[in-house]
């Protein structure tokens, strides 16, 4: 009986929180509510330096692309972008390899192996910005060009980072669209992957800050975890609908898995038009729900362009045409991209998919 | 010899074949730098696998090692940064936390009488949950230079982990193979009632193996946190499967009683050689995963044939 | 064993025997009931028809997969590869459905393929005598890696509406719920009444005795693994047809949920005991807990700690109950 009580006590000791948002608690920088643009402060180049700078100029490059994990649609499409970009360049061969689960240790080991095998360049999307840094610094020291995309590492551990959408920009875009659907005093809940995923935690923090500044009357009901699993996402979204009933005006999906699953949950609950679903999602997954008018809009960047820009930036860094101090980067078909925050190449504002344009995209 | 150590012989042969094949596949494979680096990368799994060998030889299993590692990693960060303890003191406390986690497993298994698989399945969820709850999913960063030296530095030209692994390997090998206590663990695995009747300290030995398993997981946590200079609550996820793969590949019987440290060491080396070698040869991670699965099954089939255990 | 002097003699003998035999199942059912009432009082929406459908129907596939797992554990084996297997079968089935194959083919193939794939594991366990935990650990790696190699992570979409079995209803009841109930009852009766089903308990309880009475143990092991594979196929049909897309990765930790359901349902991991009624109830209990935790505002950060504690508490309660029963007898 004694041990039974011990375990009970342990269970009760776990504090219940009034509200948990899943944000990462780091400082935020919400954009102004009215949509006026802020010019980012000019920051000196803060990226790392590669050993034997310039020794690879004009030479063919063997590059490895290491996303957070392989086997999900999101990184499948970014890998295709990388391959297309490499093909357009002509003198870059690229292979995509990654852990089968978003695991920091596996990703580090993999990068370490590729350093040993003597590649010329590494493209990465970090599972953890700090954990990945030592191995990337080792790559730079070995004369390997390093460029990140999607999820950054510590700036000095890579040369450039292709930022598909700035955190506060994504946050503003999502909350603004949410407000359009549920009104400035509506209430909403969030379905995310896990609280430890850095990008999601960052977006949520920024969303919280922006919502409090610009739509203080909105109610943030709660955030639930749903891994990267569509059935679980669907079940969690449905449970939220069941729990709050008409008190829930909107659901925000933080992953390309969660958003279509939330849309499906709203559809199956027969609440199309009453409960707003918005979130990050690939256009293909959202087409049925946009077509049935159950979902008005979804947000994402062009993952293919992100991959292509990353490989082009790596080529340019190796050639010396992209160097510290540059304020823009000529990315061929993708146009001229702005460089900000020291060493980030900005892909621009995220794309908002609506019934008007969603059929123009295929990924 | 073949009949008694059929499995270890097959395994040693496989390691040699793998080494030869891989060195032909990639010129970078059989270099001192690569080999030492692999020793660094496999340290966490290897430490826990050495302790797990004892657990499995005693007829038990510990599925909670990955979660224990996560909990210890998180507590390293929380005790140091949030509670403001000096990092040196924290490093002394963390092994105690690991011990407590292991002893709690032992308590559930020995005192409460739960089957090890169930008890540690429960604590797998519990310890991971505590890690998530305590950390509130925040990571702790910014460790001082001297701490990073543990996981990223070298002593006399060899990575720190190689020294730790070498010592752990010898200690574990001597205890399991040569001491009375090692034989007690084996006897428990063969037949727990018989070990009881023989007057062996069954409960003490069982508590000890689970405590050591927790301790190893906490040391792995310190090594890992130091190597990557950050802590997250999801550290060590899936570690238990990597560890069990290496131990059973090494010929330790999952039903207990039989197993050697040398077998576990060979199992660990084979997995690491395959992962590293295939990656250098340009095989993708998913292909490597399939191959490790195949090797695991085939090695055990071959071992079974050599020891004449196959039913015809 | 039958009857006990401490209990009042009456015509309730059958009831008492039922209580003793299904004590654990009753305990799990009571826990579900208590949760439904407790959380229902806190927030009546918890017991709304819609939420009950989510709990029971949305997780029916776990109950179905746990039926096969129960049989495997009853004969003292285990299968860690079931989650990966369900992922692979879902992709096979979905690929067939969108490639224009007749719907019945897309529905049948996963069941047959599940049995075939698991036959390999069964043969290795029964004839090469490799412990099942190891064989299925290897199998899990092969299936997981193989699935990613084959699909590259592309989702299957545009599934034909007539393929979506889980969205259909029978007499107004959702199909997955009906399947889970029917399959549980059929499998439960089969394990209880048929000679084959009963022999499983003997194999798990005492394999030597089973051999002595002329049961061909290895053949039965292979058969059980194949049946379990077929149930994984059935679970796949309910799992993969819930949404309009099929994710081509294996559902994370599904094997742990299925195994835990079987175990919490009263199947001793040491073999020889347990019923599929228990495992199905346990699957429902888990789904109820998962939903209840959202309804009662447990901080999501502490959610997993709660689940771990609940697992341990359930097993402890069962062990105390068994100890008492043994003392009383």
CATH of the domain at A108: 3.40.50.2300
Virtual torsion, Cα A191, A192, A194, A196, nearest 10 deg? -130
Taking the CA of residue C312 and the nearest CA in chain A, the distance in Å comes to: 8
Q: Is residue C14 part of a domain?
A: no
Closest CA of chain A from C323, distance in Å: 13
Nearest to C138 among B124, B287, B296 (CB): B296
CB C109 within 8 A of CB C163: no
* Token pair belonging to B16: 């040699």
Q: Which of C77, C80, C81, C101 is nearest to C89 (CA)?
A: C81
Q: Which of A230, A241, A264 sits opposite C247 (nearest CB)?
A: A230
What are the residues whose beta carbons fall under 8 Å from the beta carbon of A62, sequence distance 6 or more?
A93, A119, A120, A121
- What is the CATH code for B13-305? 1.10.3470
Residue A335 covered by a domain = yes
A120, A92: one domain: yes
* Domain boundary pick from A284, A300, A316: A300
Over residues A132-148, the mean pLDDT reads: 94
More confident residue, B209 or A76: B209
Asked if residues C325 and C20 have their Cβ atoms less than 8 Å apart, the reply is yes
d(CA A155, CA A321): 20
User: Using 50, 70 and 90 to split pLDDT, how confident is the model at A351?
Assistant: confident
Give the E-state strand segments of chain A in sequence order. Answer: 61-66, 92-96, 121-124, 145-149, 160-163, 187-192, 219-225, 250-253, 276-279, 297-300, 328-330, 336-340, 344-346, 351-354
Mean pLDDT throughout A292-321? Answer: 92
Same domain, A248 and A186: yes
* Domain assignment of residue A201, yes or no: yes
Beta carbons of C300 and A225 less than 8 Å apart: yes
Which pLDDT value is given to residue A11? Answer: 43
DSSP 3-state of C289: helix
Residues A172 and A294 in one domain: yes
For residue C38, what are its two tokens?
């407790």
CB C177 within 8 A of CB C60: yes
Q: What is the mean pLDDT of chain A?
A: 87
Give the containing element (helix H, strand E) for B231: strand B230-231
CA separation for the pair B74, B86 (Å, rounded)? 15
Which residues fall within 8 angstroms of residue C137, CB to CB, at 6 or more apart? B241, B244, B245, B248, B293, B296, C80, C81
Percent of chain A with pLDDT over 90: 50
CA distance B166 to B50: 11
Residue C3 banded pLDDT, cuts 50, 70, 90: very low
What six digits make up the tokens of A281? 């999602």
Beta carbons of B223 and B275 less than 8 angstroms apart: no
Residues A265 and A175 both lie in one domain: yes
pLDDT at B305: 79
Asked if the ipTM is above 0.90, the reply is: no
- Asked whether the predicted pLDDT for residue A261 surpasses 60, the reply is yes
Average per-residue pLDDT in chain C? 86
Domain membership flag for residue A77? yes
Is A362 domain-assigned? no
pLDDT of residue A6: 44
Between C31 and B55, the higher pLDDT residue: B55
Res. A18: pLDDT tops 80: no
Examine residue A33 and state whether it is found in any structural domain, yes or no: no
Shared domain check, A183 and A73: no
Alpha helices by DSSP H, listed for A90-156, are 104-117, 133-141
* Residues of the domain holding C159: 28-297
Domain ranges, ordered by start, for chain B: 13-305
Residue where the block lists tokens 């089973």: C210
Say if C326 falls within a structural domain.
no
The whole-number pLDDT of residue B3 equals 53
- For chains A and C, CB pairs below 8 A equal 127
Overall number of domains in chain C:
1
Residue B105 has a pLDDT of: 96
Find the CATH number of the domain harbouring C192: 1.10.3470
Which residue has better confidence, B152 or C66? C66
Give the residue, A353 or A53, on which the prediction is more confident.
A353
Q: Among the ranges A106-110, B24-28, C180-184, which has the highest mean pLDDT value?
A: C180-184
Residue C65 lies in a domain: yes
Our separate counts of H helices and E strands in chain A read: 10, 14
Burial zone of A30 (CB within 10 Å; 0-12 exposed, 13-18 middle, 19+ buried): buried
Asked if B293 reaches chain C (Cβ–Cβ under 8 Å), the answer is yes
| CB contact (8 A) between residue B309 and residue C129 | yes
Angstrom distance (rounded) from CA A170 to CA A6: 45
pLDDT tens for A330-346 read 888 888 999 988 899 99
Domain contains A191: yes
Q: Is C256 on the interface with B (CB under 8 A)?
A: yes
Comparing CA positions, the residue from C252, C258, C255, C276 lying closest to residue C266 is C276
Check pLDDT > 60 for residue A4.
no
Question: What's the pLDDT tens digit per position in A156-178?
Answer: 999 999 999 888 889 999 999 99
Q: What is the CA B151 to chain-centroid distance, rounded?
A: 17
- pLDDT number for residue B312: 53
10-residue stretch averages of pLDDT, chain B, 312 residues long: 68 91 86 88 94 95 95 94 89 96 96 87 91 84 86 86 93 92 92 89 94 97 92 88 91 86 94 90 86 88 74 58
Q: For residue B152, which residues of chain A lie inside 8 Å, CB to CB?
A: 134
- Give the β-pairing of A61-66 and A92-96: parallel
Q: Do both A222 and A252 map to the same domain?
A: yes
B294 contact residues in C (CB cutoff 8 A): 138, 142
Query: Does residue A310 sit in the same domain as residue A327?
Result: yes
A40 pLDDT band (50/70/90 cuts)? low
| Shared domain check, A189 and A139 | no
- Nearest-angstrom CA–CA distance, C328 and C311: 26
Q: Which of C247, C286, C288, C290 to mutate to test the interface with A (most CBs of A within 10 A)?
A: C247
User: Mean pLDDT across the stretch C34-60?
Assistant: 91
Across A54-68, A138-152, B269-283, C286-300, the highest mean pLDDT is recorded for A138-152
Q: What is the largest CA-CA distance in chain C?
A: 67
Question: What percent of chain C is modeled with pLDDT above 70?
Answer: 92
Give buried/exposed letters for B88-115 (b at 16+ CB in 10 A, else e).
eebbebbbebbbbbbbbbbbbbbeeebb
Any domain includes C32? yes
In this structure, are A284 and A324 located in the same domain? no
Residue A306 and residue A274 share a domain: no
Indicate whether A87 belongs to any domain: yes
- Say yes or no: A268 and A143 in one domain: no
Chain C nearest C-alpha distance from A324 (Å): 36
Decide if C325 is inside a domain: no
The count of domains in chain A is 2
pLDDT, tens digit (0-9, with 9 covering 90-100), for A82-97:
999 999 999 999 999 8
Shared domain check, A129 and A224? no
User: Does C7 score more than 50 pLDDT?
Assistant: no
Mean pLDDT of C110-116: 97
pLDDT-derived band at A137 (thresholds 50, 70, 90) equals very high
Lowest mean pLDDT among A305-319, C159-173, C220-234: C159-173
Domain extent, residue A119, equals 61-164+302-348
How far apart are the C-alpha atoms of B286 and C146, rounded to whole Å?
7
């Amino acid at each position: 009986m004694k041990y039974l009580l011990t375990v009970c006590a342990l269970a009760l000791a776990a504090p219940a929180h009034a509200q948990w948002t899943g944000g990462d608690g780091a400082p935020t920088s919400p954009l102004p509510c009215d949509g006026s643009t802020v010019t980012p402060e000019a920051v000196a180049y803060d990226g790392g330096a590669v050993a034997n700078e310039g020794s690879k100029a004009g030479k063919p490059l063997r590059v490895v692309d290491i996303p957070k994990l392989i086997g999900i649609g999101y990184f499948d499409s970014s890998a295709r972008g990388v391959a297309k970009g490499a093909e357009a360049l002509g003198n870059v061969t690229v292979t995509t390899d990654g852990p089968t689960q978003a695991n920091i240790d596996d990703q580090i080991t993999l990068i370490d192996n590729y350093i040993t095998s003597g590649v010329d360049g590494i493209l990465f999307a970090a599972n953890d910005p700090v954990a990945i840094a030592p191995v990337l610094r080792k790559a730079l020291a070995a004369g390997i060009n390093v460029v990140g995309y999607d999820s950054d590492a510590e700036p000095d551990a890579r040369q450039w980072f292709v930022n598909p959408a700035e955190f506060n920009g994504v946050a503003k875009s999502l909350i603004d669209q949410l407000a359009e659907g549920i009104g400035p005093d509506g209430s909403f809940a969030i379905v995310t992957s896990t609280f430890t995923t850095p990008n999601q935690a960052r977006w949520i923090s920024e969303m919280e800050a922006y919502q409090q500044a610009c739509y203080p009357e909105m109610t943030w009901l709660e955030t639930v975890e749903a891994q990267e699993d569509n059935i679980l996402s669907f079940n969690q979204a449905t449970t939220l609908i069941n729990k709050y009933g008409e008190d829930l005006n909107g659901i925000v999906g933080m992953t390309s898995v969660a958003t279509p699953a939330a849309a499906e949950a709203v559809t199956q609950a027969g609440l199309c038009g009453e409960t707003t679903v918005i979130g990050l999602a690939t256009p293909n997954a959202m087409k049925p729900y946009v077509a049935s008018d159950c979902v008005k809009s979804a947000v994402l960047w062009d993952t293919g362009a992100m991959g292509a820009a990353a490989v082009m930036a790596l080529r340019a860094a190796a050639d010396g045409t992209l160097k510290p101090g540059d304020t823009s980067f000529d990315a061929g078909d993708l146009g001229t991209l702005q460089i900000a925050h020291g060493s980030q190449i900005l892909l621009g504002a995220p794309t908002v998919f609506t019934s008007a344009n969603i059929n123009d995209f295929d990924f | 010899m073949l009949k008694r150590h059929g499995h270890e012989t097959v395994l040693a042969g496989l390691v040699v074949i793998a080494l030869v094949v891989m060195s032909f596949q990639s010129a970078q494979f059989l270099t001192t730098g690569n080999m030492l680096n692999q020793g660094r990368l496999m340290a966490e799994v290897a430490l826990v696998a050495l302790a797990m060998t004892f657990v499995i030889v005693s007829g038990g299993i510990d599925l909670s090692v990955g979660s224990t590692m996560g909990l210890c990693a998180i507590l390293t960060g929380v005790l140091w940064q949030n509670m403001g303890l000096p990092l040196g003191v924290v490093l002394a406390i963390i092994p105690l936390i690991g011990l407590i986690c292991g002893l709690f497993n032992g308590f559930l298994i020995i005192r409460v009488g739960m089957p090890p698989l169930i008890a540690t399945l429960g604590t797998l969820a519990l310890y991971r949950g505590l890690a998530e709850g305590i950390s509130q999913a925040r990571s702790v960063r910014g460790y001082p230079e001297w701490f990073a030296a543990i996981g990223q530095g070298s002593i006399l030209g060899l990575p720190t982990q190689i020294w730790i692994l070498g010592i752990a390997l010898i200690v574990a090998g001597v205890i399991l193979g040569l001491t009375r206590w090692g034989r007690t663990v084996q006897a428990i695995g063969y037949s727990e009632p018989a070990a009881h009747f023989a007057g062996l300290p069954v409960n003490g030995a069982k508590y000890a193996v689970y405590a050591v398993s927790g301790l190893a997981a906490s040391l792995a946590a310190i090594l890992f946190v130091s190597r990557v200079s950050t802590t997250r609550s999801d550290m060590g996820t899936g570690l238990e499967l990597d560890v069990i793969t290496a131990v059973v590949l090494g010929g330790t019987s999952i039903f207990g009683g039989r197993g050697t440290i040398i077998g576990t060491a060979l199992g660990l080396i084979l997995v690491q050689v395959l992962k590293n070698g295939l990656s250098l040869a340009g095989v993708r991670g998913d292909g490597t995963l399939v191959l490790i699965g195949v090797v695991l099954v085939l090695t055990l089939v071959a071992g079974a044939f050599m020891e004449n255990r196959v039913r015809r | 064993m039958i009857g006990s002097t401490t209990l009042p003699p009456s015509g309730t003998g059958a009831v008492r025997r039922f209580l003793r035999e299904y004590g654990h199942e009753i305990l799990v059912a009571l826990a579900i009931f208590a949760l439904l009432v407790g959380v229902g009082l806190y927030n009546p929406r918890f017991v709304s028809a819609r939420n009950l459908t989510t709990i029971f129907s949305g997780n029916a596939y776990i109950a179905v997969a746990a039926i096969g797992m129960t049989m495997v554990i009853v004969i003292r084996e285990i299968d860690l590869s079931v989650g990966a297997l369900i992922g692979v079968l879902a992709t096979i089935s979905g690929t067939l459905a969108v490639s224009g194959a007749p719907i019945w083919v897309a529905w049948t193939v996963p069941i047959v393929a599940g049995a075939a794939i698991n036959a390999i594991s069964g043969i290795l366990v029964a004839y090469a005598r490799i412990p099942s935990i190891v064989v299925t650990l290897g199998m899990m790696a092969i299936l997981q890696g193989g699935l990613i190699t084959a699909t590259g992570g592309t989702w299957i979409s545009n599934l034909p509406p007539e393929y979506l079995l889980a969205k259909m209803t029978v007499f107004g009841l959702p199909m997955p719920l009906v399947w889970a109930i029917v399959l549980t009852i059929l499998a439960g009766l089969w394990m209880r009444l048929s000679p084959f089903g009963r022999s499983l308990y003997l194999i798990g309880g005492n394999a030597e005795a089973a051999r002595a009475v002329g049961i061909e143990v290895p053949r039965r092991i292979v058969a059980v693994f194949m049946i379990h594979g077929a149930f994984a196929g059935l679970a796949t049909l309910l799992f993969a047809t819930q949404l309009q897309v099929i994710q081509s990765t294996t559902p994370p930790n599904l094997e742990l949920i299925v195994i835990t359901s079987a175990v919490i349902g009263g199947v001793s991991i040491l073999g020889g005991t347990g019923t599929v009624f228990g495992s199905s109830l346990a699957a429902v209990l888990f789904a109820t807990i998962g939903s209840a935790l959202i309804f009662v505002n447990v901080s999501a950060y502490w959610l997993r700690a709660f689940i771990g504690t609940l697992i341990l508490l359930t097993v402890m309660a069962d062990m105390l109950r068994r100890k008492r029963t043994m003392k009383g007898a």
